[in-house]
Every structure is written in C-alpha cells, then in structure tokens.
Chains A and B, each alone.
Chain A
Amino acid sequence: MRPEEVASAAVKMARDAGADHAEVYVTRTRSLSAYVDDSRVKSVEEKLDLGLSIRVIRSGKVGNSSSSVSSLRQVEACARSALRASSLVPKDEVFKGFAWPAKERVHVRNKDPEVEAISPETLCELLKQLIGSATEAKNVKVPNGVLRAAELESLVANTNELMVRREASLVFLLATAMTGGGSPGEGVESFFSPYLKDLDAAALGASLRAKAKAAARAKAYKGRSTIQVVMPPHELSEMLQGSMHFALSAENVNRKRSPLLGKLGKQVTAPVLTLTDDPSDKRGMLSSPYDDEGVPTKRKPLVKDGVLKGFLYDLYNSHFSSTVSTGNGLRRSSSEAVGNYQLGVSIAPVCLVVKPGTRSVESMVEGMEAGLVVEKVASADVHPITGDFGLEVRCGHLVEKGEVKGTVKHCLLSGNMFRALGQIGEIANDATVSRNLILPSMRFDSFELIGSG
C-alpha cells in the first residue's frame, strides 16, 4: 500500500467512526544495515516497514493510536482504537486542533538518490573499506560496528485538508576499534549524514585506528584539578541534547521545569555562543520544510551572542502558551528510520546549529596553559533539570603549555552544564553533524577533574 492510500483511508475511517477532527502520520521505510563483528561483516539486514499513527478529537477529547500496517483492516482498527481512547479521557482544555495547510517557508530536500539505489553489496563494500583502513595497524581490530542507509517517506494528513509529505535519507555509522594485548584501548567513531557521498569509510577507519591506539596509551589519572577542557562534537552534542534541548522545549517551560524559564531576552550563556534551529540546512539529518504535525518549519534564532531569543513549540504547547507552533513537533530519529510512527510527537530542534569559531582545535590547544582535550567519555549525560554532570573520561589528552603531555582515563569530569555554557572560552571551526545538531568542539574554562588517590 502507498502511504497516501493509507493516510486517506485512515482520515476517512476516523471521521466515519465519529471523530470531529483527525490527524494521520504514516511512514514507509526501507532500511539496510550491515554489522561488523570482530573485523568481519557478520550480519546484513533489510527492513521494510509501513505504519501509521492516528490522533483524533471528539467533543474536545483527544485519543491516540498507532499500528504497523499490513492491510486496511489494521488501519480501521487503529482509527477505532484512537476513538476508544478519546472516549475515556476528560476534555482537553489545551489542545485546540490540528495544523492548517500552509506554504513552506524553507526549501530543503535531503533525499539522496544514491541511498535509494544502494544495494546490500555496496553497503558491505563500504564497511570492508572501513575495516581495512582501521586494521592497517598491527594489533588493531574492529570488534563492533553498524553502517546503515535508509530511505524514509512520511506523510501527515488531517481533516483540515492538509497533506504534506517528507522524503528523506539517512546514512549512519557507529563503530569501535580496539587494540589487543593486556591493556587494550578502544576508540569510537560515529557518522551522520543524509548523503552517501559524505561517507569516507577509509578516513573513518583511520580515525578509529588512531583513537584505539590513543586509548591504549591512556593511564589512570591520579589526583584532582580544575582545568580547561576541550569537548569534541559528538560528546558535546549529547551534552547539549541533555541540557539545551530540554531547556528550550516549550513543554518544559510550560511545566515549569526548564532551567531557562523566565530568562527570555536575558544573557544565558557566554556571548561567544549562538544557537539557531535551521531546518533549511542541507547537512541536517532531520531538516525539512514541515514538522511531523504538518506545520511549516522556519529558521529560528534560539540563543544569539549568549542572549536567549526563543523557545521551541509544537501545536499542543503553542496552544498552551497562546502562541503559534514553531514547527518543532517531531517524530524522527537521526539514526533509524524504521518504526518512527510509534514515536509520539515531542519537541526537538530540527537542526540545531552552533555558530562555529574561526580557529582549528589544534590552534585552540596551542594556546592552552593546562588542560584536557577529551576524546571519549563513557556517556555524556547531563541532568536536564539541574544541569549537573559527572562524566567518566575513557580517553583524554593532558595539555601543558600548548603541548600534549600524556593521555588519561578512569577519572571524572565534573561540572554543571548551564554554568559551563556561561564559561565557554572558545568555539572551534570543526563543525560536525552529530544527531540533529551541527556543532564544533568547544573549550570550557573551569571543569573539575577527579582521579583516584
């Protein structure tokens, strides 16, 4: 079945079953993945998926249901299920209805014909290139890895005669390399892009090799100090997701749990930081002219020169705040296309872009008196409400007077992300796509490093 067929049938069935208003979100995907195990291609998989999610409003009550789709019978069952759910809940005093048709405001199509045409054989060849490059050095292997290429077609339709379609592609890689011996080191590399041509498998393999060797040199850090720290893009993207994504969401502002509540127009970070949600950026994994409620997306300054300029809204929270949606009601993933219809609408930036600086990371490091250049932390979690973090360093380079003097692990990097954003020393120019962000490395001027002893 074609998504349009599913969407039209679902809207009609929901209406026929008694819905005053209905919205349907349909996704159809083809996802190819190849997995590495111990430097060999271990598994190859192809996934075909079609599913839908229905939201209905009846007498002001809202119900939701989702289903995989194999037949129109399942579509009808899904519509009835949403109606049943709506019959049990109280009237929603906030939600006023679904999106109305509107012209797109940004023009971006991040669908790659090469991804559409890719064969399992080509995917395996790319993975073999990565393995070959990573294992050029003796004693380095690739124990784990996944390379995925997926095409996604999604469609939003509703009883306001709205129907918008998104076609997108994604290429995602996550792999590790490790050294052998009694004290092995492991490096991790990840890659996100809508386009296959951006993937340089050999270069990623070489980077993995270098990271594994660096991790093998790392020694347990002893003692403690307060130092400058350079965080790389992939770790930083996780930290920003855990802090600024949460804080910029109108859902969290409306629920009074955002640390940025009441700070609109105020200085919230160092002046060097400018954050923009730019759905028109072709590099973005989720970039598109419409969000997954059918609202046109737009370019939005969120933090400009350190000053908070705005929050992100979906339809529900725009109704809560008596404003308009910013086109940030999403049901998307930057690493997987299958099953997105099961995701509820949540607020997220479409493509959060951090304005890069002018200097390279290397130049930044040359100017450091004493510090740490982080390569990998265990998990870059930040407590979204307090902003506190304690990150276990798996590999980091100690710098003294601009030169790397040693590599360390088994220590904690401690701080508070919201305070840290107020103490950004410098932003580098190595803009990297990581999840739904595009961001460079950053130097923070006051993190606590705690080792044993």
Chain B
Amino acid sequence: MQKAVDRMLSEKAEFCDARFQSLSRLNILIVDDGVRSLTEEEVGGVCLRARHLGSWGYASTSSVDKGPVLEAARLAAKIARLGTAKGRNIPEVKAVHGTYKAQVKLHPSSVPLEEKLSLAQDLNKAQKVGPRIVNANSTYAESAKTTMLVNSFSTSLNWEEVRGRVNCMSIASDGTRAEVFYDLKDGTGGFELFKSLDVEEMGSACAKEAVKMLSAKKCPSGELTCISDPMISGLLAHEVMGHASEADEIVKRRSFLTGAVGKKVASDTVTMVDDGTVAGAHGTIPFDDEGTPSSRTVIIDRGEYKGYMHSLETAAEMGVPPTGNGRAQDPHRRVFVRMTNTFFEAGDLSLEEMIEGVKYGVLTDKAISGMEDPVGGGFESKALRGFLIERGEVTDMLRGFTLTGKALEILNTTDAVSKDLRLDGGTCGKGVEDFIPVSSGGPYCRSKIIIGGG
C-alpha cells in the first residue's frame, strides 16, 4: 500500500491514497418456510486515488498482487491529469495511525451459522397467523468490512465495521386485493443486536398488520395536517435537507441551501444533525473512507441553518475542517460527500398530545421510499400506510400514499415534535449508484404536507 502511494507521488500526484477493502457478508433468505438462499460472500479489492489540480484519477483492481496494484497506482496518477476541474490544494492534515477493531460483544464470525439460520426461520414461521397471509419472507444479513488506508499525509489506518439486519415482510390477500407490511431491526454491532429480539412477536405482529391493511381506506388528498412518523421524518431529514447539505452540492451551487448558513430555515421546533458517532446506529463509522474520524455536524439548530457536511476536498474548498463524510461504497467506487446518521432531534411532546391537537389530518406509519431534490428543495416520500385523524382521535387505517411539498415550507409549518426518536437503517445512493449504509430518523413531527395517491 505504501509503495502504491509512493508510486503515485513519483507520478506527480499532489495528494493520493491507497484503500484496500474486504467485505465478508452472509445473507439468508427464507420464503414461506423454505430456505430460498443462504449465501456467503468475500469481496475485496484495492482502490488507488490520485489528485492533480482539482481532478481525481481512480484505478481499482480486485487483485491484491503487487504488480497489478502498482500498475493501478501508475494509471490513477496518469488519468488524474485528464480532468479539467480546478480546485484548492488539500491542506495537510495530521496523520492518523492505528488499528481499530469493531466494538462488538458477539462478533458474527463467533456465532454458529445454525443460530442465524434458526433466527430467520423462526421469524418466518411466526408470520403464519392465518390463511390470509399468502406469502411470508424473512432475511438475516450481516457484514464485516475491513479498510486499510494509507495516504500521502502519512496516515496509516486499519479499521473494521460490523453491521447486522433482520427483516420480515408479510403479504396478505383477501382474493381481490393484496397488501404488504414489514418490520426490521438493524445497526452496527454483532449478533448481540438480535439476542434480545422477540422474533415470534416481531413476525406475528408484522403479519397481523398486513391482514389489517386489507381493510385500509384510500387516503384523502390535498394539503393536510400530517404527523410524520420517525421513518418519514427521517426521509425529510435525509433526502431533502441532508443531500442538500452535502458540501459538494454547495461548492458547485447546486443546493437550494447554498448560502443558507445563519438564516432561519425552519420553525424553532426543528433541530437536525448528521452524526456518524451514534452508538449502534446503522450509519455509524469510526472513520470515513479518507481516514477522517466521524463527527456530529449540526445542520439546523432550533430553526437556524448552521452548516454542511464535508470531505477533505470540500473542506479545502470552503476553508473549514473536514467532518468525516467522505465515503465510498466499496474499493471500486469513488469517495465523495455522503451522510452517516441523519435525523431531527426529539422535542418534548407525546404522540397522543400531538394527535389531540389535530382536527383533521393524517398520521404516517413507515416508509417505502423517498427521493432527493437538492436543487429545488422538493420533498417526495411514500408512506407504507397511515391513519386518519379526526377531531383529535385516530380513526381509519389508510392505504399507502405519497407526501410531497417544498421542504422549507413544510419545516416552517412544523409546530410540534415528539419526545420519541428512532433511527432506521438502510442504504443511500447518490444519483443512481454508490450505495452506502446510513440511517435516518427523528421524532414524530406535525406539519402541513401535500398528500395523494393510494
């Protein structure tokens, strides 16, 4: 690795790094009581990255032999000169050294595979709550990723990230209509994440909710008072405010939050952070893929916009310290500004108190998807289902629907925030690729949002 860095420097790279990453994964999929697949993966490779003026050359190879790696280093330095981007030099940061093992109690490699298989099978069996459940699915997934990073500032690091996830999904049908419900648990950590999990309760509750959804009604449409649950709140935090606060979007003035620092962008009830240090959260990392320690970045503080997330490059461009947000999917992918755990902070109300204040509105329950819009600041997310609120009480269950509107207009109408806070993990792509583990979330938030579909 050091020789690869030396090779890039000898080829006139202004800054460079060599990143070896290996990933061990286990995926178990159980469908309708049968083991549909059990797959072990071992994926590794080396990425060489060289900077010339403001441009980058990347060369990666799945070979870890000296010859191909040094050739890739030469190539990275050469193709960096093909770029036309201008940029400031990356100022030297203090070198970091050391080996950091993941903080886990039960490393997945120490747990028998049979135990993991049983967990997934039990979760599947628990979904068989009646004849209306036509399809039951459960998954168990774990990953252990090791990164070795050497750069031209003499950093030499080696660290490990371990994650796990279990998921169940039930499909109910009454012969004319089908509905789906899911539940999941995930995080950074070892098998201890699932030791206290009541899979019987998780699976049967999931299936029962799917059956209930068969009688859910179509949601009303238009601009309504909406209490977003932690998942939908998290999508607003991540997809709109988060992506627009990634400093690469700011440097090129693509974000609607360019120049927003110090401005009032939301009601006083709104505080939002990106925090890569949250213990156990799915997006938690000890270092980003440039070797910068992860950190907590306050993005909005009681309605006032505070700042952006940075990689080494954007921090150099804006003359601020990096925040540990330079991340890459794997050794074959580039490093750029990405989120970690992005969420709204909790308030002090109970959900019941928030519902009491609504004459007519909706309460969302779980998300299907969301989409970024850093340019226009538009919010779009799909709720798995919801509940109608009438005269301060929850009445009918609603089928899935879409929420939309201008993010800042929504956040300026946010008048109540609950004391519950939850983060849910997933993967985030930027554009249509470069998927990294993150989490997003928040409390229940009460705002005005356009609702439709379903």
With CB as the reference atom, state the residue of chain A lying closest to B112. Answer: A88
With CB as the reference atom, state the residue of chain B lying closest to A410. Answer: B378
Stretch at the interface among A42-50, A353-361, A367-375: A42-50
- Known A85-B39, A88-B117: A47·B60 in contact at CB below 8 Å: yes
- Which residues does chain A contribute within 8 Å of B85, judged by CB atoms? 37-38, 40-42
Assembly CA distance A392 to B40 (angstroms): 39
Q: Is B318 an interface residue (CB 8 A)?
A: no
* Proximity string of chain B (215-250) to chain A, C-beta cutoff 8 Å, 1 when within and 0 when not: 000000111000000000000000000000000110
Q: Establish whether residues A412 and B79, one from each chain, have CB atoms under 8 Å apart when the complex forms.
A: no
Stretch at the interface among A197-205, A279-287, A299-307, A336-344: A336-344
With CB as the reference atom, state the residue of chain B lying closest to A45. Answer: B58
Q: Is B276 an interface residue (CB 8 A)?
A: no
Q: Establish whether residues A178 and B254, one from each chain, have CB atoms under 8 Å apart when the complex forms.
A: yes
- Which residues does chain A contribute within 8 Å of B61, judged by CB atoms? 47-49
Q: Establish whether residues B34 and A94, one from each chain, have CB atoms under 8 Å apart when the complex forms.
A: yes
Assembly CA distance A411 to B56 (angstroms): 39
User: Shortest distance in angstroms between B452's beta carbon and chain A's nearest beta carbon?
Assistant: 4
Assembly CA distance A83 to B222 (angstroms): 56
Q: Establish whether residues A452 and B405, one from each chain, have CB atoms under 8 Å apart when the complex forms.
A: yes
Candidate in B43, B178, B376 with the most chain A CB atoms within 10 angstroms: B376
- Which residues does chain A contribute within 8 Å of B37, judged by CB atoms? 62, 64, 344
With CB as the reference atom, state the residue of chain B lying closest to A127. Answer: B84
Q: Is B150 an interface residue (CB 8 A)?
A: no
Contacts of B54-72 to chain A: CB distance below 8 A: 54-65, 68, 72
Q: Establish whether residues B114 and A41, one from each chain, have CB atoms under 8 Å apart when the complex forms.
A: no
User: Count of chain B residues with Cβ under 8 Å from any Cβ of A?
Assistant: 81
Q: Establish whether residues B56 and A378, one from each chain, have CB atoms under 8 Å apart when the complex forms.
A: no
Q: Establish whether residues B368 and A143, one from each chain, have CB atoms under 8 Å apart when the complex forms.
A: no
User: Shortest distance in angstroms between A265's beta carbon and chain B's nearest beta carbon?
Assistant: 19
Assembly CA distance A412 to B63 (angstroms): 48
B83 interface neighbour in A44, A78, A88, Cβ under 8 Å: A44
- Which residues does chain A contribute within 8 Å of B173, judged by CB atoms? 256-257
Q: Establish whether residues A412 and B82, one from each chain, have CB atoms under 8 Å apart when the complex forms.
A: no
Q: Is A329 an interface residue (CB 8 A)?
A: no
Q: Establish whether residues B404 and A412, one from each chain, have CB atoms under 8 Å apart when the complex forms.
A: yes
Q: Is A349 an interface residue (CB 8 A)?
A: no
Assembly CA distance A84 to B114 (angstroms): 11
B402 interface neighbour in A67, A68, A391, A453, Cβ under 8 Å: A391
A68 interface neighbour in B62, B84, B251, Cβ under 8 Å: B62
Contacts of B362-391 to chain A: CB distance below 8 A: 368-369, 371, 373, 375-376, 378, 380, 382
Candidate in A77, A128, A259, A392 with the most chain B CB atoms within 10 angstroms: A392
User: Count of chain A residues with Cβ under 8 Å from any Cβ of B?
Assistant: 86
Q: Establish whether residues B86 and A40, one from each chain, have CB atoms under 8 Å apart when the complex forms.
A: yes
- Which residues does chain A contribute within 8 Å of B106, judged by CB atoms? none
Assembly CA distance A306 to B31 (angstroms): 32
User: Shortest distance in angstroms between B140's beta carbon and chain A's nearest beta carbon?
Assistant: 12
Q: Establish whether residues A68 and B453, one from each chain, have CB atoms under 8 Å apart when the complex forms.
A: no
Stretch at the interface among A157-165, A269-277, A289-297, A380-388: A380-388
Q: Establish whether residues B42 and A410, one from each chain, have CB atoms under 8 Å apart when the complex forms.
A: no
Q: Is A207 an interface residue (CB 8 A)?
A: no
* Proximity string of chain A (24-45) to chain B, C-beta cutoff 8 Å, 1 when within and 0 when not: 0000000000110110111111
- Known A390-B401, A414-B452: A45·B60 in contact at CB below 8 Å: yes
* Proximity string of chain B (286-308) to chain A, C-beta cutoff 8 Å, 1 when within and 0 when not: 00000000000000000000000
Q: Is A389 an interface residue (CB 8 A)?
A: yes
User: Shortest distance in angstroms between B437's beta carbon and chain A's nearest beta carbon?
Assistant: 16
Q: Establish whether residues A379 and B406, one from each chain, have CB atoms under 8 Å apart when the complex forms.
A: no
Q: Establish whether residues B178 and A257, one from each chain, have CB atoms under 8 Å apart when the complex forms.
A: yes
Q: Is A89 an interface residue (CB 8 A)?
A: yes
Assembly CA distance A153 to B248 (angstroms): 35
- Which residues does chain B contribute within 8 Å of A256, judged by CB atoms? 134-135, 171, 173
- Which residues does chain B contribute within 8 Å of A16, judged by CB atoms? none
Q: Establish whether residues B84 and A44, one from each chain, have CB atoms under 8 Å apart when the complex forms.
A: no
Q: Establish whether residues A336 and B43, one from each chain, have CB atoms under 8 Å apart when the complex forms.
A: no
Q: Establish whether residues A68 and B43, one from each chain, have CB atoms under 8 Å apart when the complex forms.
A: yes
Q: Establish whether residues A385 and B399, one from each chain, have CB atoms under 8 Å apart when the complex forms.
A: no
A sample of 29 inter-chain contacts (CB < 8 A) reads A35-B334, A38-B254, A40-B54, A42-B54, A44-B57, A44-B82, A45-B59, A48-B61, A51-B43, A63-B38, A66-B42, A70-B44, A70-B63, A74-B42, A124-B84, A178-B254, A184-B376, A255-B135, A378-B371, A381-B369, A386-B400, A390-B453, A390-B454, A392-B371, A410-B404, A412-B452, A414-B453, A450-B221, A452-B450
B residues in contact (CB < 8 Å) with A: 31-32, 34-35, 37-45, 54-65, 68, 72, 75, 79-80, 82-86, 113-114, 117, 134-135, 171, 173, 177-180, 221-223, 248-249, 251-254, 330, 332, 334, 368-369, 371, 373, 375-376, 378, 380, 382, 399-402, 404-406, 431-433, 450, 452-454
Nearest 3 pairs of A and B residues by beta carbon = A390-B453, A390-B402, A45-B58
A residues in contact (CB < 8 Å) with B: 34-35, 37-38, 40-51, 62-71, 74, 77-78, 81-82, 84-85, 88-90, 92-94, 120-121, 124, 128, 143-144, 146, 174, 178, 180, 184-186, 224, 255-257, 259, 335-336, 338-339, 342, 344, 378-379, 381, 383, 385-386, 388-392, 394, 409-412, 414-415, 448, 450-453
